[in-house]
Amino acid sequence: MSTISRVFGSPADDVWKVIANGWLYSGWVVGASRIRAVDAHWPETGSTLHHSVGAWPLLINDTSHVTAVEPSRSLELVARGWPLGEAKVVITLEDLGTQCRVTMAEDAIRGPGKLVPKAVRDALIGPRNEETLKRLELMAAGGAGR
Protein backbone atom coordinates (compact mmCIF):
# COMPACT_ATOMS: atom_id res chain seq x y z
CA MET A 1 0.00 0.00 0.00
CA SER A 2 1.11 3.56 -0.67
CA THR A 3 1.50 5.11 2.79
CA ILE A 4 1.76 8.79 3.75
CA SER A 5 2.11 10.21 7.29
CA ARG A 6 1.86 13.78 8.46
CA VAL A 7 1.84 15.45 11.88
CA PHE A 8 -1.09 17.85 12.19
CA GLY A 9 -1.16 20.87 14.49
CA SER A 10 -4.64 19.83 15.66
CA PRO A 11 -5.63 17.24 18.24
CA ALA A 12 -6.92 13.87 17.04
CA ASP A 13 -10.48 14.66 18.16
CA ASP A 14 -10.64 17.68 15.84
CA VAL A 15 -9.34 15.61 12.92
CA TRP A 16 -11.79 12.80 13.67
CA LYS A 17 -14.71 15.25 13.62
CA VAL A 18 -13.89 16.06 10.00
CA ILE A 19 -13.45 12.40 9.05
CA ALA A 20 -16.66 11.40 10.85
CA ASN A 21 -18.74 13.94 8.92
CA GLY A 22 -19.29 12.26 5.57
CA TRP A 23 -20.72 15.45 4.07
CA LEU A 24 -17.25 17.03 4.32
CA TYR A 25 -15.41 14.38 2.26
CA SER A 26 -15.49 16.28 -1.03
CA GLY A 27 -13.72 19.14 0.75
CA TRP A 28 -10.63 17.12 1.61
CA VAL A 29 -10.54 13.91 -0.45
CA VAL A 30 -8.83 14.64 -3.77
CA GLY A 31 -10.98 13.34 -6.60
CA ALA A 32 -14.29 13.38 -4.73
CA SER A 33 -16.17 16.17 -6.45
CA ARG A 34 -19.44 16.01 -4.52
CA ILE A 35 -21.27 14.02 -1.87
CA ARG A 36 -24.73 12.80 -2.89
CA ALA A 37 -25.80 11.01 0.31
CA VAL A 38 -24.35 9.76 3.58
CA ASP A 39 -25.78 6.86 5.59
CA ALA A 40 -27.21 8.06 8.90
CA HIS A 41 -24.86 5.77 10.84
CA TRP A 42 -21.67 6.94 9.06
CA PRO A 43 -18.85 6.06 9.81
CA GLU A 44 -19.94 2.82 11.46
CA THR A 45 -18.83 -0.47 9.89
CA GLY A 46 -21.03 -1.25 6.90
CA SER A 47 -22.12 2.35 6.30
CA THR A 48 -21.87 3.93 2.86
CA LEU A 49 -20.90 7.31 1.49
CA HIS A 50 -22.39 8.12 -1.93
CA HIS A 51 -20.04 10.37 -3.90
CA SER A 52 -19.22 11.50 -7.39
CA VAL A 53 -15.74 11.36 -8.88
CA GLY A 54 -14.37 13.57 -11.64
CA ALA A 55 -15.06 17.04 -12.92
CA TRP A 56 -18.28 18.28 -14.38
CA PRO A 57 -19.63 17.30 -16.87
CA LEU A 58 -17.66 14.02 -16.69
CA LEU A 59 -18.85 12.78 -13.30
CA ILE A 60 -19.10 9.18 -12.20
CA ASN A 61 -21.47 8.36 -9.34
CA ASP A 62 -20.12 5.71 -7.00
CA THR A 63 -19.80 4.77 -3.34
CA SER A 64 -17.33 4.09 -0.56
CA HIS A 65 -18.16 1.85 2.37
CA VAL A 66 -16.64 1.37 5.80
CA THR A 67 -15.10 -2.05 6.42
CA ALA A 68 -13.67 -1.30 9.89
CA VAL A 69 -13.64 1.61 12.31
CA GLU A 70 -12.19 2.45 15.70
CA PRO A 71 -13.73 5.86 16.52
CA SER A 72 -11.16 8.63 16.93
CA ARG A 73 -8.37 6.20 15.94
CA SER A 74 -8.89 4.58 12.54
CA LEU A 75 -11.14 4.21 9.53
CA GLU A 76 -10.85 1.54 6.87
CA LEU A 77 -12.94 1.70 3.74
CA VAL A 78 -13.31 0.46 0.20
CA ALA A 79 -13.50 3.42 -2.15
CA ARG A 80 -15.09 2.72 -5.51
CA GLY A 81 -14.26 4.70 -8.61
CA TRP A 82 -15.37 2.61 -11.55
CA PRO A 83 -14.40 2.19 -14.33
CA LEU A 84 -10.95 2.42 -12.66
CA GLY A 85 -11.88 0.00 -9.90
CA GLU A 86 -11.77 -0.09 -6.12
CA ALA A 87 -9.18 0.82 -3.52
CA LYS A 88 -8.68 -0.07 0.11
CA VAL A 89 -8.00 3.04 2.19
CA VAL A 90 -6.87 3.03 5.82
CA ILE A 91 -6.66 6.27 7.81
CA THR A 92 -5.15 6.14 11.30
CA LEU A 93 -4.81 8.85 13.93
CA GLU A 94 -2.13 8.81 16.61
CA ASP A 95 -2.95 11.21 19.44
CA LEU A 96 0.03 13.41 20.34
CA GLY A 97 -1.80 15.74 22.73
CA THR A 98 -2.34 19.06 20.97
CA GLN A 99 -1.16 17.42 17.73
CA CYS A 100 -1.73 14.11 16.01
CA ARG A 101 -0.02 11.97 13.42
CA VAL A 102 -2.32 11.02 10.55
CA THR A 103 -1.36 8.11 8.33
CA MET A 104 -3.16 7.27 5.12
CA ALA A 105 -2.52 4.02 3.27
CA GLU A 106 -4.16 3.14 -0.04
CA ASP A 107 -3.91 0.64 -2.85
CA ALA A 108 -6.04 -0.76 -5.65
CA ILE A 109 -7.81 -4.01 -4.80
CA ARG A 110 -10.14 -4.61 -7.80
CA GLY A 111 -10.57 -3.54 -11.38
CA PRO A 112 -8.25 -2.14 -14.05
CA GLY A 113 -6.31 -0.04 -11.52
CA LYS A 114 -5.02 -3.28 -9.98
CA LEU A 115 -3.34 -4.12 -13.32
CA VAL A 116 -1.16 -1.00 -13.15
CA PRO A 117 2.33 -1.89 -11.81
CA LYS A 118 2.67 -1.13 -8.09
CA ALA A 119 5.51 1.37 -8.61
CA VAL A 120 3.31 3.36 -11.00
CA ARG A 121 0.27 3.12 -8.68
CA ASP A 122 2.37 4.39 -5.76
CA ALA A 123 3.71 7.27 -7.87
CA LEU A 124 0.12 8.34 -8.61
CA ILE A 125 -1.46 7.64 -5.21
CA GLY A 126 1.29 9.19 -3.05
CA PRO A 127 1.08 12.81 -4.27
CA ARG A 128 -2.74 12.63 -4.36
CA ASN A 129 -2.84 11.52 -0.74
CA GLU A 130 -0.25 14.14 0.29
CA GLU A 131 -2.71 16.77 -0.96
CA THR A 132 -5.61 14.94 0.68
CA LEU A 133 -3.85 15.11 4.06
CA LYS A 134 -3.00 18.80 3.57
CA ARG A 135 -6.69 19.52 2.95
CA LEU A 136 -7.75 17.43 5.96
CA GLU A 137 -5.27 19.28 8.16
CA LEU A 138 -6.58 22.68 7.05
CA MET A 139 -10.20 21.66 7.61
CA ALA A 140 -9.44 20.34 11.10
CA ALA A 141 -7.50 23.48 12.01
CA GLY A 142 -10.35 25.64 10.67
CA GLY A 143 -12.94 23.90 12.84
CA ALA A 144 -14.81 21.95 10.15
CA GLY A 145 -16.98 19.22 11.60
CA ARG A 146 -17.54 20.89 14.96
> CATH number for the domain including 65?
3.30.530.20
**How many CB atoms are located within 10 Å of the residue 143 CB?**
11
Residue 105: inside a domain: yes
Residue 130: inside a domain: yes
Contact 113, 79 (CB under 8 A): no
Residue 20: inside a domain: yes
Q: What is the pLDDT of residue 8?
A: 98
Q: What is the pLDDT of residue 83?
A: 81
Could you tell me how many residues make up the chain? 146
DSSP state of 141: H
Q: Which amino acid, 108?
A: A
Q: What is the pLDDT of residue 142?
A: 95
What residues in the chain have per-residue pLDDT under 70? none
Residue 88: inside a domain: yes
Q: What is the pLDDT of residue 93?
A: 98
Q: What is the pLDDT of residue 47?
A: 98
Residue 81: inside a domain: yes
Boundaries of domain holding 47 = 2-141
The number of folded domains in the chain is 1
Contact 66, 89 (CB under 8 A): no
Residue 146: inside a domain: no
Adjacent-strand bridge partners of 86: 80, 110
Strands (E) across the chain are located at 2-8, 32-38, 48-55, 58-70, 74-80, 86-95, 100-110
What CA–CA distance (Å, rounded) separates 44 from 46? 6
Q: What is the pLDDT of residue 55?
A: 84
